[in-house]
Amino acid sequence: MQSWQQIQKQYPNEHVVIANPQSSEVTPAVVESGNVVDHDSDLDHLLNRCDLSKYDRCAVIYTGDLGALIGERGMIRVVGDD
């Protein structure tokens, strides 16, 4: 289990898949820690490679500057149960 700060430091400017993400009751949408199971600088490559359905709970998060990411891609992709 790594803290969010450790994840950001180890995987700068990458998309990470975090299994069993932990958050607080106050901010349930903010991941505070978890287990990184895969990472890539290219989100499409990561999502094509990683089978998210094998995890009970997971999060796909970008560790870099979201403003730069939104400017480059024009959107943030949300992955969840349908």
pLDDT digits (tens, 9 = 90+) for 11-64: 999 999 999 999 988 988 889 999 999 999 999 999 999 999 999 999 999 998
Residue 73 has pLDDT above 80, yes or no: no
pTM, 2 dp: 0.79
pLDDT, residue 69, reads 64
Torsion-angle region of 13 (φ positive above 0: left; ψ -120 to 50: alpha; else: beta): left
Q: Is 61 exposed, middle or buried (0-12, 13-18, 19+ CB in 10 A)?
A: buried
Q: b/e map of 13-52 (b: 16 or more CB within 10 Å)?
A: ebbbbbbebeeeeeeeeebebbebebbbeebeebbeebeb
